[in-house]
Structure 1
């Protein structure tokens, strides 16, 4: 589970921005938080802001960190670190390191991990393990110096340090070499943190193919039953969902295509999702008709990707991060999906949902505590800041947040300067 995330000098996030998932002292909405080891953490976090305010950039920071931990062990010497995206609108920051700090719990152990990196090198990297109120060092790395290891560290040291290239993370390289004391920290990024900055295009198609495979392999599995129940419950007109194996004869391959390429393609597109709608005659139900999922509406197709990741998050206790959660969905459906995380009987594994949205109606549904709502806005220099609703002076439990936000009283709304545009449009 996530405790805290801090980012600095990444995209429009020039200055230090901290997202704290801990429950504040506010009362109410007891289903919106859970208790773990004498601490309380929020199950959902919603982020508002104007277009290009920095919401997506903040969520992409999670993706950048996830990518580095899971992939840096394979980076080649002297290659650019791909997620190096510093703030470019200030010449003092253009070449400064990007930094991330994350505090999380994995397998009931609390960790804090700090990382800063420049274009081709890791500048600093540090991992600590928490024991009650005390923090014990596992390892600390600083560019140009030997890695410092704490008493809690057990495993290869100098050999792995020599194997770690300047653009690789020691955490990634040590786990690659099976340093057991670091495995649980790594597992958080590999198994628990699920980042989907924007569910569209290839990402959405990949997810639909993944769930098609799961539906086809076991139509009676717990996942298949829950997936069917969710899709059919949300007024989609669908009575049943299944997956069928695609006919190889549907695909035409060039005569000279390698067999391994052909096999890989067929494995990727092996299953098609089918939706079934009731057929009527004379007002009576007489059967069902199958449709390819691509014949469904944009909202329904989005549900096939989003619904799957939500079910998995609730089943496995993921930290699920999604941009534009409401994409092509009716607000009532969005509210239903969010509230699944607020139900202890459904969210039994303490899954957390962090998402950005423009759907103002969510503020009017009495769904969120004030410490769950965050706002992002840019200043005149193009730098983003982020602040929590509960920290805004004058906001009370009975404040109509949707009306205040529309009126601009909470900030983070677009300032439209249309004078020049209107003059140009009237010139002819």
Structure 2
């Protein structure tokens, strides 16, 4: 499970920001899972975090940073070249940021309960630093420490890693050691590489939707159990769908037609192109949802409410929150605009204050990321009402009717200029 993610100097995330699934010490949570650790202790960890904020406040950049860290781990050895440089998007509103490092760090727990911290810093031309720490008995073990400015770039305290000399000699200045090690199937480091490979699956509205539709269609063909689960999720969404038919076309691709309720007991099969945008969006999401739940992965969804009704979005959250539906501890990070996700229809909270994170830009255009729990809302406080009132920040700084007044002022000014001419 992912515990914490830290990042700095990536897009609007100028200063170091942290997104944490760990329940702060001293706070109680009904939503958190008790994660067993290898030292015999347990750690309360949230299964879901939601990131809210005004337009252009940096919500999507949090998802982008997580995705970019994964991409760096998976591809630095093969794709980063000396002539192209290291791909990164430093904060663009401060000229000094281009000369400063980009920073990533993730804390996560593997299946054996051992907690790991892995991170790195990048410049345009080289990996400036890289580190890996383990906590098998609750105390930190430094597995390796890399510093490009040192005469001895790589340090392996405790000699815990095999083939240290080979790794130090063959890891390029513009490649991550973790990627280099996994490229040769290193027995100790490849499982850490695989954690990134099998987690941080990201979904962005309309990006690669046909591929996600095809993946869900393939789930229909896998087995009767897989088909039953996909069809059940289609039915509970109240889309009037009673089932699905899928067959392979002449090119071997799965072709789907959904069965809709007609008059009486009749049903009608609709061509895929005739399905509504909302139905196709929900269908495309089902495959990745089941993949995450089946494997205990971390799923990233940017703008969860962009193509789904708020009730659908709330059901996605509940899938991850419910222990018997999510027994493998899959996690969800999503961004959204709709404040309705802060409250359930009958009253009460869909997510706890520690699960709700806000983004807000300062006067420099830099994003600040923080949980609503920092504001210590009262136990019975309506989070949606308080959020819309600006009690926690993270909402557009605009008064009612301000846009209309600005348009009128602009039109009036233009008219005066025309008359003067």
The TM-score with structure 1 as length reference comes to 0.88
2:238 equivalent in structure 1 = 235
Are positions 1:278 and 2:279 aligned together?
no
* Separation (CA, whole Å) in 2 of partners of 1:242 and 1:192: 30
CA apart distance, 1:322: 0.9
2:418 equivalent in structure 1 = none
Are positions 1:413 and 2:399 aligned together?
no
Return closer, same or farther for 1:236/1:67 CA change in 2, 3 Å cut-off.
Answer: same
CA apart distance, 1:167: 1.8
1:10 equivalent in structure 2 = 10
1:214 equivalent in structure 2 = 219
Per-residue CA deviations over 1:313-354 (Å, capped at 9, x if unaligned) read 112111111111122222122112211112111110111111
* Separation (CA, whole Å) in 2 of partners of 1:406 and 1:154: 52
Runs of 4+ in 1 over 6 A off after TM superposition: none
* Separation (CA, whole Å) in 1 of partners of 2:81 and 2:352: 48
Per-residue CA deviations over 1:287-306 (Å, capped at 9, x if unaligned) read x3322333211111111121
Return closer, same or farther for 1:150/1:345 CA change in 2, 3 Å cut-off.
Answer: same
Return closer, same or farther for 1:77/1:324 CA change in 2, 3 Å cut-off.
Answer: closer
User: Residues 31 and 352 of structure 2 are in contact (CA less than 8 Å); yes or no, is this contact kept in structure 1?
Assistant: no
Gapped runs of 5+ residues in structure 1? 248-265
1:313 equivalent in structure 2 = 292
Per-residue CA deviations over 1:77-136 (Å, capped at 9, x if unaligned) read 314356400111112212211101110012222110111101221111111111232111
Are positions 1:92 and 2:96 aligned together?
yes
For the residue of structure 1 that corresponds to 2:386, the secondary structure is: helix
1:106 equivalent in structure 2 = 110
**Aligned pairs for 1:164-175 within 5 A:** 164-175=171-182
1:397 equivalent in structure 2 = 379
2:419 equivalent in structure 1 = none
Return closer, same or farther for 1:34/1:294 CA change in 2, 3 Å cut-off.
Answer: farther
User: Residues 32 and 341 of structure 1 are in contact (CA less than 8 Å); yes or no, is this contact kept in structure 2?
Assistant: no
Are positions 1:342 and 2:321 aligned together?
yes
Return closer, same or farther for 1:194/1:79 CA change in 2, 3 Å cut-off.
Answer: farther
From 329, 339, 364, the counterpart of 2:343: 364
From 160, 169, 172, the counterpart of 2:167: 160
Return closer, same or farther for 1:146/1:26 CA change in 2, 3 Å cut-off.
Answer: closer
CA apart distance, 1:166: 2.0
* Separation (CA, whole Å) in 2 of partners of 1:77 and 1:354: 32
For the residue of structure 2 that corresponds to 1:94, the secondary structure is: helix
2:129 equivalent in structure 1 = 124
Gapped runs of 5+ residues in structure 2? 416-421
* Separation (CA, whole Å) in 1 of partners of 2:396 and 2:85: 33
2:275 equivalent in structure 1 = 296
CA RMSD between the two structures: 1.8
User: Residues 8 and 99 of structure 1 are in contact (CA less than 8 Å); yes or no, is this contact kept in structure 2?
Assistant: yes
* Separation (CA, whole Å) in 2 of partners of 1:39 and 1:335: 26
User: Residues 8 and 100 of structure 1 are in contact (CA less than 8 Å); yes or no, is this contact kept in structure 2?
Assistant: yes
Per-residue CA deviations over 1:185-237 (Å, capped at 9, x if unaligned) read 112101133222x1313x11111112222323x341x3221111101111111
Return closer, same or farther for 1:240/1:82 CA change in 2, 3 Å cut-off.
Answer: farther
Q: Which segment is superposed worse, 396-405 or 416-425?
A: 416-425
* Separation (CA, whole Å) in 1 of partners of 2:247 and 2:159: 51
For the residue of structure 2 that corresponds to 1:192, the secondary structure is: coil
For the residue of structure 2 that corresponds to 1:112, the secondary structure is: strand
* Separation (CA, whole Å) in 2 of partners of 1:310 and 1:76: 31
1:262 equivalent in structure 2 = none
* Separation (CA, whole Å) in 2 of partners of 1:303 and 1:159: 48
User: Residues 86 and 174 of structure 2 are in contact (CA less than 8 Å); yes or no, is this contact kept in structure 1?
Assistant: no
